Amino acid sequence: MYESILSELGLSLNESKVYETLLSLGSSSIEHIALKSKVHRRNTYDVLGKLLEKGLISETFIHNRKEYRALPPSRLLDLVSEKEKQIQTIMPDLEKRFSSYEEEETAYMYKGINGFKQYLNDILEVGETVYFIGAKAFWLDPRLRNFLVKFDQERRRKGIKFMHIFDYEVKDQKPEILKLVGKPYKFFPKNYSSQTAVDIFGDRVVTFVGVETGQLDQEPVQFVMKSKRLADGYKKFFQFMWDRL
């Protein structure tokens, strides 16, 4: 009945059958257990031995005959606890191996308004501070109006911080973006505006081309580079600019 669940705890199919049978039988002989569980008697001997090792049943002698009884089902929770303790003993080594592994560096592209929404979802998934270079308030594009409300609610719930360096024109042409994203933000000098922008978060560096203040291209394109080393370098570039504005 519960074979699939019990198998997750390390019990074989026959072990599950015998254990569940014993829960209903009380103290029983091998012959009776084999009959009721429909496990061949020859196999029942081995199964009972393994259940004894797992501490799920007990063995007694009644009238010079071995009989077996299931121990309380709460013992199954002890098995889970023991497995957790075993994992904890190897966890430091596993974490060490994981941290020393350098993730493969990749590059890919998002295209279209749905691709742009995926880029915003990436920000939520990564959940770290986002650094914006040459920001142009193109999140205010009318095609993102409904999506942006949910996005901003979720990013605030997750405590994701923004640090913006906007193009100079934003303060006059799209000041509403400042209230939406909140402080801190700064502005490039007037002569340093461009049609490009760069966002950095986690291990991602996202670049935009052909963007204008307050709107995206008809078919926006974002180039994503996934590399911790690259992202760390861009964050330093950002900090250099931030400190001098």
3-class SS of residue 102: coil
Structure tokens at 99: 């941290």
Under a CB-based contact definition with an 8 Å cutoff, are residues 57 and 22 in contact?
yes
Name 174's Cβ contacts closer than 8 Å, sequence gap at least 6: 137, 140, 213, 214
Top-level class of domain 106-243 = alpha beta
CA dihedral 29, 30, 35, 36 (to 10 degrees): 60
Q: Pick from 139, 115, 164, 114: which is nearest to 214 by CA? A: 139
Give the DSSP H/E element, type plus range, for residue 133. Answer: strand 130-135
Give the per-residue pLDDT at 102: 57
Residue 101's pLDDT is 57
C-alpha 175/C-alpha 139 separation (Å) is 12
Q: Which fold has domain 3-75?
A: Arc Repressor Mutant, subunit A (1.10.10)
Question: Are the beta carbons of 132 and 192 closer than 8 angstroms?
Answer: no
The one-digit pLDDT tens for each residue of the chain (245 residues) are 677 787 777 788 888 888 888 888 878 788 888 888 788 888 888 888 888 888 888 888 877 788 888 888 888 888 778 878 888 888 888 777 766 655 678 999 999 889 999 999 999 999 999 999 999 998 888 898 889 899 999 999 999 999 999 999 999 999 999 988 889 999 999 889 888 999 999 999 999 887 888 888 888 899 999 999 999 999 999 999 999 99
Q: Where are the domains of the chain?
A: 3-75, 106-243
Cβ-based burial of 242 (10 A; exposed 0-12, middle 13-18, buried ≥19): middle
Quote the pLDDT of residue 160.
Answer: 94
- Same fold: 3-75 with 106-243: no
Query: Residue 16's pLDDT is what?
Result: 81
Do residues 18 and 48 make contact, with C-beta atoms less than 8 angstroms apart?
yes
As a residue count, the chain comes to 245
| pLDDT number for residue 78 | 80
C-alpha closest to that of 73 among 55, 98, 52: 55
pTM: 0.59
* Paired residues of 225 in beta bridges: 107, 205
